[in-house]
Structures are given as structure tokens and as C-alpha cells.
């Protein structure tokens, strides 16, 4: 009881101080519709002409501040590796139940009807096409590799929810999924390093920019978006497989 009381009183001044800082920052914010960013004004005025990308958000993310996004991508990559390491089978751990038995457990937990199966299968096809579209058109419309990758990975989850457990496990636990994640993360760095070929700085957009509004445009922005989509798809698919497999083991009493 005393410890709980002491923790509360230690938390109180910290909470008051944080609230004061947040209020101070809030009062310093510009009015709605008022922009004080010279950088933002420059991007809005020049990004389309300089990069031939009609979606300036992706021009910033994958070009003007591409080095920041590279770091963010490797944070995701490291996080996925960390989860897989935490969930790996420890030495001396009792043998797991057979995969067929685990699949039966899942199907008993999620008994899909024929209507659900058919609906989910149709959704998977739509999500795969839409995810590829979003990942490959980020330089033209809102979207990009991060958004497209999440949609593609979610398509695998829909397969699972539709009761196709064996199909889900074959798709996301395949070594190609791990290779895709690694290629996506490494591909971003390699695209950035490719600028050295022409004597430019790392992540310089040195490829032909193409015609504004066309799919093949914006130089390296398109390629980086595709690499990010590959990494995000593989990473989230591996995470889902690891977590869902752990849930089944816990329900099985292991």
C-alpha cells in the first residue's frame, strides 16, 4: 500500500510537468491553415518539377529525406528479427504438436462456413491486386511501399481467417518470405548506393525521371517504393505467422 502511494506521488509531479510542456507546445502551434515551413513551401512548389512525382509525400519520403526512411525501414527489419528470435524454440523445449494437429486446432477455433470461405477467397484476390497497385503508384497517388506492403500482408491474414490454415502456413513460413524481407531492406540500401556509379552522393535520384503522371517516372522513387513494399510485406507476414503460431501453442497448453 505504501509503495503504491509513493509511486502515485512520484508520478504526479512528472505528469504535471509533462502536461505543462504539452500545453506550452500547443500554444506555440500555428493557426489552422497557417504554414510557417519554408521547407514545406519549397516542396509544394518544386517537387513535381524536380522529381516528376505528383505525390509530393512520396517524393519527400523516398527522395528528399530518403535517408530517414531508410533508417525507419531497418527499424522494422530489426523488430521483425527480434520477434522471431524471441519466439524461436529454446533448447530443451518439449516437442511441439504436429503441424496437422495444430491446423485442426485452428480450424476448430475458427470454423468458417462456405460463405466465409468464398468471400475471403474473393477478398484475397482484390487485396493482392490493390496492394500491388498502391505500392507501385505511390509516386502518382497517395500510397507507396509501406501502405501497399501492409495490404499485401493482410491478404495472407485473410487466407488464415478464411480457414485455409495450411495455405496460410505454406505461404508465410516459406523461406522466400524471409528472403523477400531481406531483399526489400537491402534493396533500398543498394538503390541508394547505386548513385556512386555516376559519382553522386548516396540516395541521389540519378535515374531518368520519365514523364510526369506516367507509371515509369520519378527515377529511384518508384524503385525504393517497391523495395519498401517487399520488405513490409515479408516482415508483417513473418510477424503474423510467429504470433498466430504462438497463440495456437498456448491454446494447446504448451
Mean pLDDT for the stretch of residues 162-183: 85
**Confidence class for position 94, pLDDT limits 50, 70, 90:** low
- pLDDT one-digit tens code per residue, 199-229: 999 999 999 999 999 999 999 999 999 999 9
CA-to-CA dists, residue 77 to 80, 123, 125, 208, 227, angstroms: 5, 28, 27, 29, 13
The C-alpha angle with vertex 151 and arms to 128 and 84, in degrees rounded to 5, equals 110
Cβ neighbours of residue 219 closer than 8 Å, sequence gap 6 or more: 51, 52, 63, 205, 206, 207, 208, 209, 210
CB 235 within 8 A of CB 77: yes
Q: What element of type H or E holds 168?
A: helix 165-172
pTM: 0.80
Per DSSP, the three-state class of 217 is strand
pLDDT reading at 97 higher than 70: no
pLDDT reported for residue 239: 92
Q: Which residue, chain included where needed, has cell 496460410?
A: 168
Instruction: Look at residue 30 and give its three-state secondary structure.
Output: coil
Amino acid at each position: 500500500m505504501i509503495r503504491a502511494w509513493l509511486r502515485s506521488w512520484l508520478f504526479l509531479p512528472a505528469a504535471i510537468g509533462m502536461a505543462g510542456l504539452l500545453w506550452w507546445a500547443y500554444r506555440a502551434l500555428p493557426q489552422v491553415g497557417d504554414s510557417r515551413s519554408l521547407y514545406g513551401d519549397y516542396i509544394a512548389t518544386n517537387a513535381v518539377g524536380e522529381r516528376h512525382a505528383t505525390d509530393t509525400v512520396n517524393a519527400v519520403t523516398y527522395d528528399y529525406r530518403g535517408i530517414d526512411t531508410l533508417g525507419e525501414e531497418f527499424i522494422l527489419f530489426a523488430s521483425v528479427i527480434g520477434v522471431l528470435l524471441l519466439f524461436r524454440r529454446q533448447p530443451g523445449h518439449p516437442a511441439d504438436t504436429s503441424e496437422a494437429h495444430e491446423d485442426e486446432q485452428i480450424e476448430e477455433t475458427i470454423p468458417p462456413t462456405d460463405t466465409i470461405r468464398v468471400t475471403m477467397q474473393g477478398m484475397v484476390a482484390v487485396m493482392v491486386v490493390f496492394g500491388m497497385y498502391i505500392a507501385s503508384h505511390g509516386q502518382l497517388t497517395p500510397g507507396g511501399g509501406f501502405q501497399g506492403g501492409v495490404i499485401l500482408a493482410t491478404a495472407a491474414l485473410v487466407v488464415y481467417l478464411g480457414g485455409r490454415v495450411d495455405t496460410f502456413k505454406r505461404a508465410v513460413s516459406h523461406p522466400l518470405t524471409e528472403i523477400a524481407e531481406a531483399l526489400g531492406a537491402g534493396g533500398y540500401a543498394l538503390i541508394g548506393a547505386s548513385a556512386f556509379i555516376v559519382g553522386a552522393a548516396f540516395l541521389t535520384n540519378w535515374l531518368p525521371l520519365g514523364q510526369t503522371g506516367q507509371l515509369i517516372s520519378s527515377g529511384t522513387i518508384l524503385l525504393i517504393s517497391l523495395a519498401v513494399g517487399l520488405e513490409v510485406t515479408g516482415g508483417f507476414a513473418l510477424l503474423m505467422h510467429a504470433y498466430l503460431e504462438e497463440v495456437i501453442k498456448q491454446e494447446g497448453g504448451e
